[in-house]
Structure 1
């Protein structure tokens, strides 16, 4: 009997060695295939990205090293200038002026979007069911409106002769605004564009913020109010710490969206008056397509991508720093 038991135990040990711990199959060819399955699933998306994004980027990079104007385009000539386009752009005062203008324009819009979107999102969390539904529907309708359609509406609203804005201001006693040309100066044109971009961006921030507030335990709010915390203290000590990742991600997305805004600015006044409202995307289009300097436009567009990549790197550094801080706090607890 003992011999039989010893033999059975040995057979069991051999079977366990063949199958692995817990009866699982050993790490072999099948396991390696299982690890490669996610990459196979990602392959179609990677191929589509390489074809529709990667290849145009490569062509744009090659074009940026050429002097391609209408003459070269018609005669199918290739005139290589090396880094000449980049040297000319980086040595141009206009490029740096447009870059500074783009950064300031982006910063002003993003601050307004995040502040107003946060206030509306917090308002949604406090409203009753009926008013919350009505406001949510209004936000969704504003968000769903196509960009060009919204731009056309704003052109009608701020029209100098038949615009509703001038009519309301005149009726309110501000008669100097009767025939005011909103796209006649740099500041007024930027004001119209800013109002339009902020209006289009608020729904995304407000609705996402409201959705994020629903994940915060209500007991934390009750405890904060029992301790005598006011509205601002509740937001700073309860709401903001929970929503910090949301604010970082949303701010980053809004920076990208505003920085590369093209149809709103171009449709309002094509970067006018006197090219004073050109941002980097408008500047690249004007130089490349408008002035038929396609190599120059390609170089400007690539420099625009470099600026966005620098912003992305800064965002990733903030995110990693936040994750490290949270891990340190969890370890301390």
Structure 2
């Protein structure tokens, strides 16, 4: 059937007619305007919630960073603006840069351990039988779903000095000097407990993500690699890894953000101690702001923390994009 197109008068939609003269399907300009706006209307509640719950507190924190606000001004409802004095004091402080370096190293160690161990567990899930896979996934989900404070409380009990399970096991194994060892008495031992806690909580997310990614790899590729004489390692590097690379990039990006702002674990284990030697930037901002009642300084450190995190993630994304361009 041939189609004749009649050009309508200006301001009306195109109408297509068939040989029998019956009106056909309306042209592109007949699409309702409400349909074109539907995606934006659906996004509006999420955008409004983001602005309300994140944008407004961020704006208040930014304004507070330019104020000299302590308990006296807070009680008297006095606003005392001091310009960029808080930022100058923070950026010229050795403590700030020491904590910044500590935070970056802390994030790097955790992310490397999380990605390596999480990837190995994810590949293990792909190799296990159905029953063992379901059992392991249930354990991973339970560890992942445990509230942070609850998990931190459990680890405080495990590493307790007098009645901790870890000290008891080490004593039974022959390390009798560890029977009453205080894991929170030194910087390195405290960091060890925190790293174990964070890695334990984060492995399930990486493992389940990687396992889901392995299910998208066609089995024909492994068969072709086997016919070419590829062993297990070569099959992993030539078949598995190229498919997993986008998931590894995205997961690493998320882990950098989550570990860098790990306030609860660090503060709940020992409050940033001993002697403030395990403070990372979020804890440092809280102690300086709320603990020392210098709220403007705490807000300035929080803003600088956000900027440092944005810089780290931007640098990571640039590396990832460059690698993808080189592969193309």
Superposed displacement of residue 321, structure 1:
3.8
- Identify the residue that residue 20 of structure 2 maps to in structure 1: none
**1:289 partnered with 2:281:** no
- Alpha-carbon distance in 1 for matches of 2:186, 2:120: 31
Per-residue Cα deviation, 1:2-25 (whole angstroms, up to 9, x for no partner): xxxxxxx9x933158952688442
**1:13 partnered with 2:5:** yes
- Alpha-carbon distance in 2 for matches of 1:13, 1:190: 75
Whether the aligned pair in 2 keeps the contact of 1:20 and 1:26 (CA below 8 Å) is no
**1:145 partnered with 2:146:** yes
- Alpha-carbon distance in 2 for matches of 1:61, 1:122: 44
Superposed displacement of residue 220, structure 1:
1.3
- Identify the residue that residue 156 of structure 1 maps to in structure 2: 157
- TM-score for both structures, normalised by structure 2: 0.91
- Alpha-carbon distance in 1 for matches of 2:62, 2:153: 34
Superposed displacement of residue 112, structure 1:
0.3
**1:270 partnered with 2:262:** no
Unaligned runs of 5+ in 2: 17-23
Greater CA deviation, 104-113 or 45-54? 45-54
- Alpha-carbon distance in 2 for matches of 1:257, 1:303: 17
Query: Which is richer in helix?
Result: 1
Per-residue Cα deviation, 1:128-183 (whole angstroms, up to 9, x for no partner): 11111111111111111111111011001000100010011011011111111000
Unaligned runs of 5+ in 1: 1-8, 329-333
Partner secondary structure for residue 4 of structure 2: helix
Which of residues 22, 27, 30 in structure 1 aligns to 2:29?
27
- Identify the residue that residue 280 of structure 2 maps to in structure 1: 279
Whether the aligned pair in 1 keeps the contact of 2:256 and 2:313 (CA below 8 Å) is no
Superposed displacement of residue 77, structure 1:
1.4
Whether the aligned pair in 1 keeps the contact of 2:14 and 2:29 (CA below 8 Å) is no
- Identify the residue that residue 238 of structure 1 maps to in structure 2: 239
- Alpha-carbon distance in 1 for matches of 2:113, 2:280: 18
Greater CA deviation, 316-325 or 80-89? 316-325
Partner secondary structure for residue 6 of structure 2: helix
- Alpha-carbon distance in 1 for matches of 2:106, 2:323: 27
- Alpha-carbon distance in 2 for matches of 1:12, 1:241: 51
Query: Within 5 Å, which residues of 2 pair with 1:181-330?
Result: 181-321=182-322, 324=325, 328=328
Aligned residues: 317
Partner secondary structure for residue 36 of structure 2: helix
Change (3 A) 1:166 1:285: same
